[in-house]
Amino acid sequence: SYVLTQPPSLSVAPGQTARITCGGDKIGRKSVNWYQQKPGQAPVLVVYDDTDRPSGIPERFSGSNSVTTATLTISRVEAGDEADYHCQVWDDSGDPVVFGGGTKLTVL
């Protein structure tokens, strides 16, 4: 089955840029979605199909995807961005839906 690998944690200072990675075999060929999950809440879609943002998501959130790594970039990080971030792909072998292990973003 397909595996997505995320760093367990990342810490950034307010105003800096956070880059959260999601690694997978030939992930560049897949469509990657990213979800933000704050404590005690449901996940919220922040980026879909690698780079697109749903309405209402700030432009500070952007995505990219290349070869073996997809990246969620959060510019000008704010305290309110502190959350777990999960990447997800659709796979055509094994389970059709795969999530990464999640990255806990801490704003210092």
Partner 1 sequence: QVTLKESGPVLVKPTETLTLTCSVSGFSLSSGEMGVSWIRQPPGKALEWLAHIFSNDAKSYTTSLKSRLTISKDTSQRQVVLTVTNMDPVDTATYFCARILAADTTIYYMDVWGKGTTVTVSS
Binding site for partner 1 (CB under 8 A): 1, 31, 33, 35, 37, 41-45, 48-49, 52, 54, 86, 88, 90, 94-102
For partner 1, the closer CB: 97 or 108: 97
* Structure tokens belonging to residue 16: 């800096």
How open is the CA angle 76-105-14, to the nearest 5 degrees? Answer: 30
Instruction: Indicate the residue among 18 and 47 with the shorter CB distance to partner 1.
Output: 47
* β pairing state of 9-12 and 103-107: parallel
CB of 82 to partner 1, least distance (A): 16
In the complex, the smallest distance separating the C-beta of residue 42 from partner 1, rounded to whole angstroms, is 4
The answer to whether 22 and 72 have CB atoms below 8 angstroms apart is yes
